[in-house]
Amino acid sequence: MALPPITKNEDQKRNVRASFVPPIPDKTEPARIFPRFRSVLYKVGTTRYNPLIMTSFTQFDILATLQATLTEKGLTKPTHIQERAIPVLLGGRSIVGIAETGSGKTLAYALPILHKLKSLELTGDAIKENGQPRAVIIVPTRELGEQVSKVFKPFTHTTRIRVRTVLGGTALEVAKKNIAAPFEVLVATPGRIVKLLDRGLISFSDVRTLVFDEADQMLDQGFLPDANKIVAACPEARQLALFSATVSGSVQSLITRLFGDAEVIRSDGSKRLVATLKTENLEVIDGKRFPLLDRLLKKPVTGGTMIFTNTRIQCDKLVLELKKSGRTCVIYRGEMDKIERRNNLKLFRDGKIELLVSTDLASRGLDLEHVGRVINYHLPQQIENYIHRAGRTARAGRKGLVVNLVTERDEALLTQVSKIQHR
């Protein structure tokens, strides 16, 4: 979306000190930014800078082949987390990047990794051994692993950087086969990777960069001992990266323990709901939740609808009610057949089925472009879960709607929600 050119007055209105405003590279071209970044000031250390002035990917010292793929994909301007994180990672430093949902955190680490690994190869230091990756990305679920490797994919055609996956929900034999060759990048879930490390089937002795993506979700699942093991298997000089939209207590303890010397980049927006998100609260009267949802679903929206419940039982019960009322939906929750779960997500992702009913398992990380509406059939108790659920829509500057079915028990949460609403 083209936005009007930035005037000095607008800068002044936002109280940006002129000395920190970088020059506009090309004054003839109007600034194009995601609308939701418009009023957000990002804090990096003590420096404040103006997010209105977007730069271009060409400012980064990355290989021409990567630049070409970015152009081909229509990606011209980095998002703010990309703008801040890419130079840090290219410079070899460790990083903690906390930025709002849908702000492009994946590419923020994928580009520096691709650049560094291809550069090593170009200088004659190519990988020759089987099962010895140079970059490892740890993800909480199989679906997120597949999503991350898809982000790498277009860049691998020209660079020939090889990305392999070892993800939960697939047989260990498949994992063994996947790593029985030389390759540069490994995308893995923690449990599987610890198993392979314990059995000596994979070596992390040449790892240069280790990334924990969507760290919050992993750490909720008691992942700390696995994280320690994985880090210990890498050389001392490795670079560490952690990306998340929220920071739970356990993520904070991991950061304190392992990221002592890391650069911390936290966008102010990370604590807020995105600007393009609209919120509606509907009161549940006399416990009649389903009739309210039924009416709501009759209102058309563009794109798919994700409906969240808090427990697997609630999830199953709601699916039954929806089916009874003649609606087609798919379910996505823990402790179900992994192949079925994956197929369900695909049906929803491809827009073949418009309703996905889930627990918080689907609240983190999933980048489903077409989600136009999130419904909290049951509101979560924790604000972090609310932020992640709401973050499944209104991604990358698109519009989105979150509808909450509310009872008096939800008052405390809604007070918190009103505080993080975009101003």
The residues binding ligand ADP (CB under 6 A) are: 75, 77-79, 82, 101-107, 367, 369, 395-396
Q: Where are the alpha helices (DSSP H) in 233-390?
A: 249-258, 289-298, 312-324, 338-349, 383-390
- What CA–CA distances, in Å, run from 163 to 73, 87, 329? 19, 23, 33
396 touches which of Mg ion, ligand ADP, none (CB within 5 to 8 A by kind)? ligand ADP
Specify the residue, 245 or 322, whose C-beta has the smaller distance to ligand ADP: 245
In angstroms, what is the minimal distance from the CB of 169 to ligand ADP? Answer: 20
190 touches which of ligand ADP, Mg ion, none (CB within 5 to 8 A by kind)? none
**Residues 189 and 145 sit within 8 Å (Cβ to Cβ):** yes
Q: How many beta carbons lie within 10 A of that of residue 1, not counting itself?
A: 8
Where do we find the tokens 């840090």? 88
- Measure the CA dihedral 370/96/163/135, to 10°: 180
What is the amino acid identity at position 160? R
Specify the residue, 97 or 131, whose C-beta has the smaller distance to ligand ADP: 97
Specify the residue, 60 or 332, whose C-beta has the smaller distance to ligand ADP: 60
Report 51-80 residues binding Mg ion (CB under 5 A): none
In angstroms, what is the minimal distance from the CB of 95 to ligand ADP? Answer: 14
Report residue 103 as tokens: 């702000």
**Residues 254 and 224 sit within 8 Å (Cβ to Cβ):** yes
102 touches which of Mg ion, ligand ADP, none (CB within 5 to 8 A by kind)? ligand ADP
In angstroms, what is the minimal distance from the CB of 298 to ligand ADP? Answer: 29
Report residue 398 as tokens: 């698109």
**Residues 318 and 268 sit within 8 Å (Cβ to Cβ):** no
Distance CA 314, CA 320 (A): 10
In angstroms, what is the minimal distance from the CB of 243 to ligand ADP? Answer: 7
104 touches which of Mg ion, ligand ADP, none (CB within 5 to 8 A by kind)? ligand ADP
Report 82-121 residues binding Mg ion (CB under 5 A): 105
50 touches which of Mg ion, ligand ADP, none (CB within 5 to 8 A by kind)? none
Count of residues touching Mg ion (by CB under 5 A): 2
Please tell me whether residue 388 binds Mg ion under the rule CB under 5 A. no
In angstroms, what is the minimal distance from the CB of 112 to Mg ion? Answer: 16
